[in-house]
Structure 1
Amino acid sequence: MLKWIDIIKYANNGAPAPDRRVEKTEEEWKALLTPEQFRITRLKGTERAHSSELCSLFEPGKYACVCCGTLLFDGSEKFESGTGWPSFTQPVKENAVAYHKDTTYGMVRIEALCNTCDAHLGHVFEDGPKPSGLRYCMNAVSLEKVESNEQKLTFGGGCFWCTEAVFTLLKGVAKVESGYSGGKIDNPTYREVCSGMTGHAEVIEVTYNPAEISYKDLLRIHLSTHNPTTLNRQGADVGTQYRSVIFYRSEQEKEDAQAVIDELQEAYGDPIITELAPYEQFYKAEEYHQDYYANNAEAGYCQAVIDPKLKKFKALFRDKMKTETI
Structure 2
Amino acid sequence: MLTWADVLEFGKNGNPTIERKLMKSEDEWRESLTDEQYRVTRKHGTERAFSSDMCNRFEPGRYACVCCGTLLFDSAEKFDSGTGWPSFTQPVQENVVAYNTDTSHGMTRVETVCNVCDAHLGHVFPDGPEPSGLRYCINAVALQKEENSAASVTFGGGCFWCTEAIFQRIKGVTEVTSGYSGGDVQQPTYNQVCTGSTGHAEVIQVKYDPEVVSFGEIVRVHLGTHNPTTLNQQGADRGTQYRSVIFYQNEEEKSVAGKLIQEMEAVLGKPVVTEVAPLDTFYPAEQEHQNYYNRNNGKPYCFTVIDPKLAKFREHFPEMTEASPA
TM-score under structure 2 normalisation? 0.60
Instruction: Give distance in 1, aligned partners of 2:321 and 2:162.
Output: 16
Q: Which residue of 1 aligns with 2:182?
A: 182
Alignment partner of 2:288: what SS? Answer: helix
Structural mapping, 1:188-207, within 5 Å: 188-207=188-207
- 8 A Cα contact 1:173 1:209, kept in partner: yes
Instruction: Give distance in 2, aligned partners of 1:324 and 1:308.
Output: 15
Going from structure 1 to structure 2, the CA distance change for 1:146 and 1:185 (only over 3 Å counts) comes to closer
- 8 A Cα contact 1:158 1:243, kept in partner: yes
- 8 A Cα contact 2:201 2:240, kept in partner: yes
Residues 283-320 of structure 1: CA distance to partner in whole angstroms, max 9, x if unpaired? 11111110011111111111111010001101111210
Residue 199 of structure 2 aligns with an amino acid whose one-letter code is: G
Instruction: Give distance in 1, aligned partners of 2:59 and 2:162.
Output: 29
Q: Which residue of 1 aligns with 2:52?
A: 53
Alignment partner of 2:268: what SS? Answer: coil
Going from structure 1 to structure 2, the CA distance change for 1:270 and 1:248 (only over 3 Å counts) comes to same
Going from structure 1 to structure 2, the CA distance change for 1:167 and 1:59 (only over 3 Å counts) comes to farther
Return the offset for 1:176.
0.5
Residue 288 of structure 2 aligns with an amino acid whose one-letter code is: Y
1:78 aligns with 2:78: no
Residues 103-147 of structure 1: CA distance to partner in whole angstroms, max 9, x if unpaired? xxxxxxxxxxxxxxxxxxxxxxxxx8758x999xxxx89xxx898
> What is the percent sequence identity of the aligned residues?
47
Return the offset for 1:53.
3.4
Return the offset for 1:322.
1.9
Going from structure 1 to structure 2, the CA distance change for 1:273 and 1:148 (only over 3 Å counts) comes to closer
Instruction: Give distance in 2, aligned partners of 1:57 and 1:201.
Output: 39
Instruction: Give distance in 1, aligned partners of 2:298 and 2:119.
Output: 41
Instruction: Give distance in 2, aligned partners of 1:57 and 1:277.
Output: 32
Residues 46-99 of structure 1: CA distance to partner in whole angstroms, max 9, x if unpaired? xx75552345579665xxxxxxxxxxxxx53533xxxxxxx3656xxxxxxxxx
Going from structure 1 to structure 2, the CA distance change for 1:77 and 1:191 (only over 3 Å counts) comes to farther
Instruction: Give distance in 2, aligned partners of 1:238 and 1:149.
Output: 31
1:262 aligns with 2:268: no
- 8 A Cα contact 2:158 2:242, kept in partner: yes
Alignment partner of 2:188: what SS? Answer: coil
Instruction: Give distance in 2, aligned partners of 1:199 and 1:59.
Output: 36
CA RMSD of aligned residues (A): 3.7
Q: Structure 2 regions of 5+ residues with no counterpart?
A: 1-22, 32-46, 70-113, 121-139
Going from structure 1 to structure 2, the CA distance change for 1:256 and 1:320 (only over 3 Å counts) comes to same
Q: Which residue of 2 aligns with 1:271?
A: 271
TM-score under structure 1 normalisation? 0.60
Q: Which residue of 2 aligns with 1:17?
A: none
Return the offset for 1:174.
0.8
Count of residues in Structure 1 that have an aligned counterpart in Structure 2: 226
Residue 201 of structure 1 aligns with an amino acid whose one-letter code is: A
- 8 A Cα contact 2:248 2:276, kept in partner: yes
- 8 A Cα contact 1:156 1:245, kept in partner: yes
Instruction: Give distance in 1, aligned partners of 2:146 and 2:152.
Output: 17
Q: Which residue of 1 aligns with 2:309?
A: 309
- 8 A Cα contact 1:150 1:210, kept in partner: no
Instruction: Give distance in 2, aligned partners of 1:50 and 1:187.
Output: 38
Going from structure 1 to structure 2, the CA distance change for 1:250 and 1:320 (only over 3 Å counts) comes to same
Residues 229-278 of structure 1: CA distance to partner in whole angstroms, max 9, x if unpaired? 00000000000000000011111111110111111212224311101111
Q: Structure 1 regions of 5+ residues with no counterpart?
A: 12-47, 62-74, 80-86, 91-127
Alignment partner of 1:183: what SS? Answer: coil
- 8 A Cα contact 1:151 1:208, kept in partner: yes
Going from structure 1 to structure 2, the CA distance change for 1:252 and 1:57 (only over 3 Å counts) comes to farther
Going from structure 1 to structure 2, the CA distance change for 1:152 and 1:146 (only over 3 Å counts) comes to closer
Instruction: Give distance in 2, aligned partners of 1:285 and 1:148.
Output: 20
Going from structure 1 to structure 2, the CA distance change for 1:276 and 1:51 (only over 3 Å counts) comes to same
Going from structure 1 to structure 2, the CA distance change for 1:302 and 1:76 (only over 3 Å counts) comes to same
Going from structure 1 to structure 2, the CA distance change for 1:318 and 1:219 (only over 3 Å counts) comes to same
- 8 A Cα contact 1:172 1:209, kept in partner: yes
Residue 273 of structure 1 aligns with an amino acid whose one-letter code is: V
Q: Which residue of 2 aligns with 1:240?
A: 240
Residue 279 of structure 2 aligns with an amino acid whose one-letter code is: Y
